[in-house]
Amino acid sequence: MSDKVNVAVVGLGFGAEFVPLYQKHPDTECYAVCQRNKESLNKVADQFGVEKRYSDFEKLLEDDNVDAVHIVTPIGSHAWMSKMSLDAGKHTACTVPMATSVEDCLAIAESKKKSGKVYMMMETAVYTREFLYVQEMYEQGKMGRLQFLRGSHQQNMNLPGWPEYWYGFPPMHYGTHAVSPLLCLAGKRAESVVCFGSGRIQEEYIPKYNSPFAAESTLIKIEDSDLACEATRTLFNTIRQYRESFDVYASEHSFEWEQVAGEGPVLYSGFEGADRVEVPDYGNRLPKEIAKYTMQGVYDEEHEHTSFIQGAGHGGSHPHLAHEFVRAIVEGRDSAVDADVAANWTLTGICSHESAMRGGERVMIPKT
């Protein structure tokens, strides 16, 4: 055994994107992969040369050689898998959202505390090039005082072919892509929300979750701050080019996400100044072994694999996520999106849907 962290990747759809990152990161080994479908499991494991393979998650957790588990599975399994992994004494990363109920978010946070292990919600939106660009400007004092923040995640999922659980899914139950950049930049937790649902999805989708809304838009009160944020989420019956975006309005500069893909975001300055900006890549923040994976269409000669998720993963975020998770383990600290932070970001969406179902009643966000 080496001194490297042995990581197991669970779920090999877009989760396969992370296998070469853990293979090449200087602090890790991709020790195992896990997938229920054995044919898919063996296909990915053969492609990347991973010998240890599991089709049973519980059996994987019994392997003492597994130090850390990265869960990239359908939403309904996030809560129980994360809790089980932490309870088994494994460092645990999980794709978004953390869970879809208040009880599960609080239970995962409690399991994290009891285990003493690292937990990280792998929120892509706070590691995109655009977010790192604005965060850097803000930390350098170039944005000035934050005055208002807005996020949106708009997606038209009406076409057939999605996993069945998606149809009728409450929009803000998967609100973290819209919420997290706002709260992360503000550096504070959400305290309460007032949310309204708008429009109506087709009748056959409604009974599954008893959620009728085509859109949900929430106003977020930030704890110990005079700052408020707005976040909007759509899933069905709302025509819009796919968009995960955030806008930042501040006293010195303001930033707006591009309206149409390819136009480029706008940076505003002074009274009338407005310029399209080319956001830089931030691969230089990563170990050289994985820095190239921030770039679009990277070809991995060793495994004959081309990255396929929006430029090595949602705006170049995947290698940053893996690196932060690993370094938190190595350095013995909480991750940047620890269980308490993840719970607050996720609960902002869950409580927003609750508010919408109550006709816009203010809902306080439970604390972990």
Q: What's residue 119's pLDDT? A: 98
Question: How high does pLDDT run on average in the chain?
Answer: 94
For the chain, list the strands marked E by DSSP.
Answer: 5-10, 28-34, 52-54, 68-71, 91-95, 119-122, 146-154, 190-198, 215-222, 228-234, 243-250, 253-256, 266-269, 273-276, 299-300, 305-306, 363-364
**pLDDT tens digits along 243-280:** 999 999 999 999 999 999 999 999 999 988 999 999 99
Q: What's residue 83's pLDDT? A: 98
Between 288 and 308, residue with greater pLDDT: 288
What is the dihedral sign for C-alpha 230, 235, 238, 242?
A: positive
Task: Give the CATH architecture of domain 126-289+346-364.
Answer: 2-Layer Sandwich (3.30)
**Hey, what's the torsion of the CAs at 204, 208, 214, 218, to 10 degrees?**
170
**pLDDT tens digits along 123-153:** 999 999 999 999 999 999 999 999 999 999 9
- Fold classification of 5-124+297-336 is Rossmann fold (3.40.50)
- Rounded to an integer, the average pLDDT of 77-91 is 98
Whole-number percent of the chain with pLDDT over 70: 95
Instruction: Give the number of other Cβ atoms within 10 Å of residue 234's Cβ.
Output: 24
Q: Phi and psi (nearest 5°) for 290?
A: -120, 5
Q: Measured in whole angstroms, how far is the alpha carbon of residue 331 from the centre of its chain?
A: 22
Whole-number percent of the chain with pLDDT over 90: 92
**pLDDT tens digits along 9-56:** 999 998 999 999 999 999 999 999 999 999 999 999 999 999 999 999
- Rounded to an integer, the average pLDDT of 274-300 is 88
Q: What are the domain boundaries of the chain?
A: 5-124+297-336, 126-289+346-364
Q: What's residue 158's pLDDT? A: 87
Q: What's residue 1's pLDDT? A: 44
Q: What's residue 298's pLDDT? A: 57
- Rounded to an integer, the average pLDDT of 336-349 is 98
